[in-house]
Amino acid sequence: MEILHEPHFWTAVAFVLFFIFFGKKLWATLSNMLDTHTKSIQNALNEAENLRAEAEALLAKAQSERKRAMQEAEEMIAKSHKEAEIFAEQAKQKALEEAQRFEVQLKERLKAEEDAARNEIRKIAADLTAKTAMDFLQSHLPPEKDLALIDKAIADIPKAFTKHQSAA
């Protein structure tokens, strides 16, 4: 019975009795806290997955809108080029017909008229191209970017005219 006089024995008995009386309550509290924490983590994971799916959907939508906008821009550019070619061809044909009618009588006047017609065609084609580009830029670019592009294009117009006139 010497064991009853040992302090380690009574410490062990007190430890066992403490867990017998309070262990169930402590276990329930700890289990409840862990379950609550698990649920909050699961909710956070679910929310993150929902946000990820939403972000992927937005990305796909933005990519399809960008692709559609690029296709529209290419179509508009092709259409404006085709219209400019048709217009230039019509104007050229008209100038040739006039040249054939007045060739004998008005050679000098005809040359001046042809030069004026070419300049007018260039001006109209440039105006048409600039307007088409302006409309496209206004509808598809944010204002801060399209202003910079417009300023650059306007600055380049005189260079293009002088280059084209010197080549002609």
Instruction: Show the 3-state SS of the chain.
Output: CHHHHCHHHHHHHHHHHHHHHHHHHHHHHHHHHHHHHHHHHHHHHHHHHHHHHHHHHHHHHHHHHHHHHHHHHHHHHHHHHHHHHHHHHHHHHHHHHHHHHHCCCCHHHHHHHHHHHHHHHHHHHHHHHHHHHHHHHHHHCCHHHHHHHHHHHHHHHHHHHHHHHHHC
Q: Which whole number is the average pLDDT over 116-122?
A: 87
Q: Which whole number is the average pLDDT over 102-112?
A: 70
Structure confidence at residue 109 (pLDDT):
73
72-81, 94-103, 113-122: range with highest mean pLDDT: 72-81
Per-residue pLDDT reduced to its tens digit, 123-150 = 888 888 878 877 776 777 676 776 676 7
Which residue, chain included where needed, has tokens 């005809």? 110
CB 114 within 8 A of CB 99: yes
Structure confidence at residue 128 (pLDDT):
86
Cα–Cα distance for residue pair 57/60, rounded to 1 Å: 5
CB 13 within 8 A of CB 3: no
Per-residue pLDDT reduced to its tens digit, 51-66 = 999 999 999 999 999 9
Q: Which of 37-41, 70-74, 135-139 has the lowest mean pLDDT?
A: 135-139
Q: Does residue 17 have a pLDDT over 90?
A: no
Dihedral sign for Cα 35, 39, 40, 41, please. positive
Cα–Cα distance for residue pair 28/121, rounded to 1 Å: 89
Mean pLDDT of the chain: 84
Q: Which whole number is the average pLDDT over 13-34?
A: 85
Q: Does residue 168 have a pLDDT over 70?
A: no
Structure confidence at residue 154 (pLDDT):
82
Of 153 and 11, the structure prediction assigns the larger pLDDT to 11
pTM: predicted TM-score of the whole model, two decimal places: 0.35
